[in-house]
Structure formats: C-alpha cells, structure tokens
Amino acid sequence: SCVILLRHGGLSLVQTMDFFYPLVEDPYTMGCIACASAMGITECDNMLTLLSLSQSVSEEEHEQIMPLMIKGFRDATEEGGTAVTGRQMVVSSWLIICGVATMVFRPSAFIMPNNAAVGDVLVLTKPLGTQVAVNMDNTERWNQLAYQEATFNAHVATDITSFGILGHSQNLVKQQRNEVSFVICNLPVIAKMAAISKASGQFGLLQVTSAETSGGLLICLPREQVAHFCSEIRSSKYREGHQAWIVGIVEKGNQTVLPRGATAAVPAPAHSKASSEPSS
C-alpha cells in the first residue's frame, strides 16, 4: 500500500494491492476472494485486475478458467460499489490474480498509521482463521466493513492478511512515534478452525502466525471510543451488522508485540451476529 501526495488540489492518492495463487477450486469464487482482499480495507474509486497465466495450464483450460475468475472479480467489485477500469495479463510459471484498489482523498479523510498512544485499545473486525477455513473448503463469506476510522478518532489501523496478526502488529508497532508496545491478550477464532489448525500441524493459528485470507482490520482506538465503535458496526448501516472483538491494549514500551495469553483462543461464531457482544 502507499499514500502519495498529489501535486494539485491538496489531494492524496491511496493505493492498496494484494495478489493470490489459487486457494479454492472454483475460479469464480477465487476471483471474488482476490477482489475482496484487495478492496476490502476501504472504499475505493476504481479497481485494476492483474493476471498471470500459467505456462503449465493448457489454452483450453485457460479459456475455461480465466473468464470465470475475471467475472468473479468484476462482480465482487460491483457489489462493493465501484468498477474495474483496467486489466493486464502476463504469462509466467504460476497462475496468479491480483487486485489494485485506488482512492483519492483529502488528507483529513484518512489517518497515517503512526499515532498509537498508551491506553489505547486494539480492536479486530474479523475473527482469525479465514485462511484455514478457505483451505478446508469452508466458503462462508465474511464481508469487510466500509467505514471511516477517523469518525472514531482511530490512531492507527492495518488489515490482517499475509503476515498474520502477529506479523502485521509487529510491522505496525515499529512505525509508531510514541514509545509503545502492543499487548495481544485475546484471539477470536472462527468456530472449529483452531481444532483444525492444531490437528493438521499447519497454519500456526494459535501461535498467532497464521496468514489470513481477506482478514479483518486491527484498529487502535482511544479507550473511550471502543464501545461506540463496536455498537456502530453492529448497526443496520452495515447491512446485517458486524461484530468486533477487543484483542489487546497499548502499553508503554519499546515498539514490540507481546502475545500474552494469545494461545487461549476465543471461539467466534461462523456468522457475525448484530446482537453479539465483543469479547474482552
């Protein structure tokens, strides 16, 4: 991702990009997943699709697979209220689909991720285990939230994807201007995914190292804003409503992440419930 100050109009260009190798057997669903991950962290003005055709896949297979993948990506983009405005294809050893989301904002409309303060609360907008669920062919859809964190005076935020909650937290805490550490003390996990991760010996879900597929946002909020935030995203403004979880706090420290008690996962329901209370 990047934030670029434009030369005209006091505006900034914000871009995010994410790419995937195939995770599921259905090309259409794979297109939807790629789009949701790329554009899901914010509202966007347009999307680009980047595709790599695999040299090991026949032309006939490409003709069957790629239109479905492109359609899934396009349909998910339209569901998100924007459109695909460009596409590029290359040929390589791997089949890859990538999405690029572009937004133009005034600086007051977004926050830079370096203002965490002692006493802030860490809130997660999706339970962990999304990549485990996808690999186990659990196709439940978790919709990303569309809201402006600035409404709640958020200090920092990041999406949880390839590096898992521990990796992204470590990257984020190193950017802070204040002398702080993140303490992670609660892990909401999609029902049954913790047991699957443990039984398979893969993923590292309970070790907080598991990658997430189109994971949630980790948001650092002032303590007095947390209840308002959790109540707001459960409201009908966000379709059926979404649950959020308190997963930790910000303490004075040396820019480290402390996973205290993080292996004691808290089961989360397979569907978000507007009436559910956030765990703490």
Contact 199, 257 (CB under 8 A): no
User: Which domains, from first to last, does the chain contain?
Assistant: 2-109 (3.30.1330.10), 120-267 (3.90.650.10)
User: pLDDT at position 257, please?
Assistant: 93
Cα 13 to the chain's mean position, in Å? 20
pLDDT tens profile 1-32: 888 889 888 899 888 888 888 888 899 999 98
- State the pLDDT confidence band at 106, using cuts at 50, 70 and 90: confident
pLDDT tens profile 152-198: 888 998 888 888 899 999 999 999 999 999 999 888 888 888 888 88
Residue 145 has pLDDT above 50, yes or no: no
Could you give the count of Cα atoms lying within 13 Å of 155 in the half-sphere of its Cβ? 26
User: pLDDT at position 271, please?
Assistant: 45
